[in-house]
Structures are given as structure tokens and as C-alpha cells.
Amino acid sequence: MERDDVRAVFFDAGYTLLCMDPPQETLFLRVCSELGIRVDAERLADAVHRANALLAPRTPAHVPAPFSQERVDRFWIDYHRTVLHGCATVSGPDSLAETLYRRFSAALGWRIYDDVRPLLIELRARGIALGIISNWTGDLEEVLRRIDLHEPFDIILDSARFGHEKPHPEIFAEALRRAGVSPSRALHVGDSIEHDVDGALRSGLRPILIDRADKHAAFDRAPRVASLSGVLAYL
């Protein structure tokens, strides 16, 4: 079958367009030091990996969940409690999870990858609609404005605000509706196989896996690129 022209490109946000600055583990260790929490740095990576299991796809809600900052905070307090439990050198400091989370969040910054703006400029020059579909925490538009990355995007879907999250089809369908394009004429680019690739495939979009650290060399269910410049080959 002849491929339709691409009329919209959607992106994941975290670790596709932008990354934590300073990196998560660096900031975590800094905040723990400020709070007097002793951490085994050699166990931190595994502790983060275990906590990241909390980010796995969840059973979809039948109706959109209204935004709740309390619910967002509760999730991330649990996340930081899990990290602490995996790397703190003494028992007890996981009770400081809320303080750690709030101090971590207040100090967190975001950095745009160097390959982002050149690709967005090229896509915009071709008249392609640009969107973000992200499992974020409710403040995505604020973050994008702060780092001057809001303006290029026609569509910004923050799952906490929208009420549905990837990989479930509702959030992809809403992005397509807003862009006014059919699934076959849209790409979705993201770093998560479960959320981005699988979600896009189920919804009829054409996925591209961005694999900056070459973690998925054997993956072959969708195109895989090492940098966003590689997306141009699939237009």
C-alpha cells in the first residue's frame, strides 16, 4: 500500500524533547544531602529502576479523571518513597519522602535536547502540524513556556489535565481530532516502547522509537532512531 503523506508529527515530552537538568540521580543525591539522608549511591540506579515500575501503563479509566494536584503529589511522594527504600543506608528516612519530593520538584529544571529545534523548524517549514502527547503531571504547558518550547506546538496534551494517558487510545484520538488528520497520516515519536510505540500502534499512528542511549538495539516493531534528525527519513 502506498504510504500517505505525513501531515502531523506528535512527540512525547520527557526524554524525547527534554530531559531533567540536573539529571535525576544528581539532583536526588543533592537533595538527600541537604536533608541529611544518607544514601548508597551505588544502589541508587537500581532504586530508580524499581520506582520507575510505578510508571508502567495502568488500567484505563472509563471516563476522564479530573485533574487533581493532590493525586499527582501523592503518586510522586510514593515514587520517592520507593527510591528511598531502595538506597537509603538506614531505615526510617522514607518517612521524609514528601519533604524530599517537594524539595526535588522545586529544584528541578528541564533542558531541551540539541536536536529538537532544528527538527521542529524543518517540520514547520513543510507545513506539518506539531503536537505533544505526554504522560505529564499537569504543568507541561508551564514548563514548555519556561524553557521557550511552547510556541512551535499546535497541540499539547498533558495526561494529568486531559484525564487519559498513554498508551490508551483516548489521548491519541484527541490529538488526531485536534490536528484534523487521520491516524495513517500521523507519526508519534517517543522513548517508551510501552507508552509511545505500543500506544501509537494500537491507535493506528506510525510510531518512531527515539533511542538516544542505544538501549533497544534488538527492537524491530517500529523504526528506531538515535536522534530526532532521523525522523526526517520517515516523512
Position 4 scores a pLDDT of 57
Position 94 scores a pLDDT of 79
Q: Is the predicted pLDDT of residue 92 greater than 90, yes or no?
A: no
Q: Is the predicted pLDDT of residue 63 greater than 80, yes or no?
A: yes
CATH code, 8-17+113-234: 3.40.50.1000
> Within 13 A of 150's CA, how many CA atoms are on the CB side?
11
DSSP 142: H
* Domain range list for the chain: 8-17+113-234, 21-109
Q: Cell numbers of 13, please?
A: 515530552
Q: Calculate what percentage of the chain has a pLDDT beyond 70.
A: 98
Q: Cell numbers of 184, please?
A: 495513517
Mean per-residue pLDDT for 86-106?
Answer: 92
pLDDT tens figures, 204-219? 999 999 999 999 999 9
Mean of pLDDT over the chain: 96
104 near 80, Cβ under 8 Å?
yes
Structure confidence at residue 61 as a pLDDT band (50, 70, 90): confident
Q: Is the predicted pLDDT of residue 1 greater than 50, yes or no?
A: no
pLDDT tens figures, 20-41? 999 999 999 999 999 999 999 9
Position 197 scores a pLDDT of 98
**Cα angle for residues 232, 117, 162 (degrees, 5° grid):** 90
pLDDT tens figures, 107-165? 999 999 999 999 999 999 999 999 999 999 999 999 999 999 999 999 999 999 999 99
**Whether the model pTM is above 0.85:** yes
